[in-house]
Amino acid sequence: MSGTREQILERVDRLLATHDPTVTAPEDFLGARFDAGLAWVHFPEGLGGLGLSRDLNGIVDSRLAAAGAPGPNVGLNGIGLGMAAPTILAFGTPEQQRRYLRPLYTSEEVWCQLFSEPGAGSDLAAVSTRAVPDGDTWIVDGQKVWTSGAHNARRAILLARTDPSVVKHAGLTYFLLDMADPGVEVRPLRQITGEAEFNEVFLNGVRVADTDRLGAVGEGWRVATTTLNNERVAIGAGTAREAGQIGLVADRWRRDPSVRTPALQEELLRWWVEAEATRITGERLRQQLAAGQPGPESSAMKLAFAQQAQAITGLALQLAPEEGLLYDDWTMVRPERADFLGRGPGFRYLRAKGNSIEGGTSEILRNVVAERVLGLPAEHRPDKGIPFKDVPR
């Protein structure tokens, strides 16, 4: 491991020597990092990696951050980096991997996720958006909703129904869609925060080449499950102690003696311990995933994150109630990137309400944990075994 570590650091230093981050454009630096195999070192060679252990990514990130190098734009392209990339790696053809991974990593192409629909949110397998074959293309019609960042996206991961004559999980296919197609219409959805970070997306006669189908026809649910598991790891995983909401509250507590009471100290300590336990659990999960894809355990990570985020943002308001009445701007804003931590406590409290919905509702994730992790009896599903076309809607 030490030899590998030294080799990785030598490669990082060569990258810094040939591409000075103080004068190299961020997009160019990230492209060079990808070409050097330092984007995701656990990815294969030629696809942004070196085929090494996932754990070595932290060494790369630390050395580059210390040199002031730009990192991938997670705020703008989190769906691409955290969800599309591992799914394309797992199921994509060599041509798809070469075509999409590099511009995804540099954020030359921003991605969004076209999964949820007005009638298929928690029950994702009930999507009704249709994809009908037409020669070597597919024609897609339908509506998607709660699409984060669609107004900034050039590409999308899409789940659509290709066979309504079979049970709902079996009739789905997964596609990579061009958001610049003239049949794609994006409309903003205003949230309780006043922003419109989410969208509804209408698909009218959108053409998708069969070469942009990810996985086999009818295996969309299997591909989508990989995406969802990676999403839940990305949402629920903090890598540093006191990262995220708990760090903001702990910092306020240390800086401002006026907010300290015994009751609030007890509450802060409780959630500090909860957040740290979740962080350590996430680290163990990432170590277990070094040679594979996330499993259903990722649902527990995301479930814990949502509960903690809502409780901790509520605690932040208890520390400074008057700050919860302040708000930057109640007019509708179309943010380029989601900013969950760089805002006031009032915004963070309101935004955290969505954490138990996005990436799978907490109720659904409890079912996943109960059935697929703990092995408890499955919940009754009246549409099980019925062709999708015959399911009452």
Give the span between the Cα atoms of 160 and 117, in whole angstroms: 10
| Residue 55 Cα distances to 5, 85, 291, angstroms | 10, 18, 11
Give the span between the Cα atoms of 198 and 334, in whole angstroms: 9
Compute the Cα dihedral for 60, 77, 113, 97 and give only its sign. negative
Q: Which two tokens stand for residue 304?
A: 């814990």
Give the span between the Cα atoms of 333 and 196, in whole angstroms: 6
- Cβ atoms of 383 and 391 within 8 Å: the answer is yes
Give the span between the Cα atoms of 203 and 41, in whole angstroms: 36
95 is catalytic: no
Give the span between the Cα atoms of 227 and 293, in whole angstroms: 10
- In the block, tokens 């997670």 appear at 74
Residues 6+ apart with CB under 8 A from 209: 136, 137, 138
Catalytic member of 109, 117, 195, 231: 231
Give the span between the Cα atoms of 344 and 155, in whole angstroms: 32
With vertex at residue 59, the alpha carbon angle to CA 54 and CA 65, rounded to the nearest 5 degrees, is 125
Give the span between the Cα atoms of 251 and 259, in whole angstroms: 12
- Cβ atoms of 110 and 77 within 8 Å: the answer is yes
The DSSP bridge partners found for residue 209 are 137
Active site residues: 231
